[in-house]
Amino acid sequence: MRPRARSGACVLAAVVAVPALVLTGARLLGGSHRQVAIVQAFTAWAVPAYLLVLVVLGVLLARPAVRRPARRPLGVAALATALALALHLAWLAPTVSGGTPKAAPDAPRLTVMTANLRFGQAEPAEVLDAVRDREVDLLVLQEVTPTALAALDAAGLAETLPHRAGEAQGGALGTVAFSRVPVSDVDRIDTVMGSWAFTTAGLRVLAVHPAYPLSENWGRELGIVRDAVEAEQPDVVAGDFNASRDHAPMRAILDAGLEDGADLVNAGWQPTWPTGGFRGWPVPASVAIDHVLVGRGLTATASSTLEVAGTDHRALVVTVARRAG
């Protein structure tokens, strides 16, 4: 490898490594600072970045033309990169290494779907198609406007899932849950964009939509959700959390006695946002901020995502059931 090529490879490794190190540092920093939270959301991007750096460093170290004085810093850099990559893989491990508790053989299955409608702009027919195709029993929708609710009902949602809790409102404020069976004991949870507690199918459910990370209410509202989990001891918590496992407030919610349905079936990384790019940039879905969480008495038997036209979130569908034993 010529000196100019080696220099170019080193520059490439450095250019890729710096943002990856920023992501690692933000994840280690934790906390609920708004700007840091935005960086933490993209923590998973560090994995391919570190892999690329390792490949570049490996190629350089494999070249006989690289002299011994240059090998030591390259070797140290490769070791540091490998350790950083291992740390990120450990953070991702729960998505593929869950205990997978078995469902009771005679326990009925409940299929839960959560979807953010993006100011009510999601295509109602596609929402209904997903509900019918996946045989959804409990649908939790965020950013439900009165117009969107009317369109959903006109498309057949009122007949398919006739029971509901929550409220349609303008903009991003409306959250509504729809159930195949009656709903009772409905209480509001104090988040700006609407979160609700209710009982259906013998389960206590929270439908949540806390503030997004750029809002000054982000950390506080995730704390409100955590407090509601501790107070209600719900069986299911579903919605757009505006947070992933890489955010400390989200981990605090899980530590309050919940498990992620996707983790329980070892579904792997299931990003749900953003679809269709981010602020004009061609960014693929790369952040898992929509979740279906279950209490210790339940398990999950399936978890998947699907695209819905008109929204920047993938819908998440998780099937849950009582645990064996």
Per-residue confidence band for 194, with pLDDT thresholds at 50, 70 and 90: very high
pTM for this entry: 0.94
C-alpha–C-alpha distance, residues 244 and 198, integer Å: 24
The architecture (CATH level 2) of 110-322 comes to: 4-Layer Sandwich (3.60)
**Residue 6: per-residue pLDDT:** 66
**Residue 72: per-residue pLDDT:** 81
Work out whether strand 138-142 and strand 110-116 pair parallel, antiparallel, or are unpaired: parallel
Q: Above 60 in pLDDT, residue 205?
A: yes
Cα separations (Å) of 69 from 74, 76, 138? 9, 12, 63
C-alpha–C-alpha distance, residues 76 and 80, integer Å: 6
Instruction: Determine what percent of the chain is predicted with pLDDT higher than 70.
Output: 96
Per-residue confidence band for 3, with pLDDT thresholds at 50, 70 and 90: low
- For 208-267, what is each residue's pLDDT tens digit? 999 999 899 999 999 999 999 999 999 999 999 999 999 999 999 999 999 999 999 999
Q: Provide the H-helix boundaries in the chain.
A: 3-29, 34-41, 46-62, 68-92, 124-133, 146-155, 157-160, 218-232, 248-255, 261-264
- For 78-118, what is each residue's pLDDT tens digit? 999 999 999 999 999 999 987 789 999 999 999 999 999 99
Please report, for the chain, the start and end positions of each structural domain, with discontinuous segments joined by +: 3-95, 110-322
- For 12-30, what is each residue's pLDDT tens digit? 999 999 999 999 999 999 8
- For 67-76, what is each residue's pLDDT tens digit? 666 678 888 9
- For 259-316, what is each residue's pLDDT tens digit? 999 999 999 999 999 998 777 778 889 999 999 999 999 999 999 999 999 999 999 9
**Residue 62: per-residue pLDDT:** 82
Q: Above 60 in pLDDT, residue 195?
A: yes
Q: Do residues 249 and 219 lie in contact, with contact meaning Cβ atoms separated by under 8 Å?
A: yes
Q: Above 90 in pLDDT, residue 65?
A: no
Per-residue confidence band for 5, with pLDDT thresholds at 50, 70 and 90: low
**Residue 69: per-residue pLDDT:** 66
Among candidates 191, 135, 203, which has minimal Cα distance to 167? 191
Q: In b/e form, how buried is each residue of 291-317, taking b as 16+ CB within 10 angstroms? A: bbbbbeebbbbbbbbbebebbbbbbbb
Q: Do residues 124 and 147 lie in contact, with contact meaning Cβ atoms separated by under 8 Å?
A: no
**Residue 233: per-residue pLDDT:** 98
Q: Do residues 290 and 268 lie in contact, with contact meaning Cβ atoms separated by under 8 Å?
A: no
Mean pLDDT of 201-214: 97
Q: How many CB atoms lie within 10 A of CB 156?
A: 14
Q: Do residues 166 and 193 lie in contact, with contact meaning Cβ atoms separated by under 8 Å?
A: no
Mean of the per-residue pLDDT values of the chain: 94
The terminus-to-terminus CA distance of the chain in angstroms comes to 62
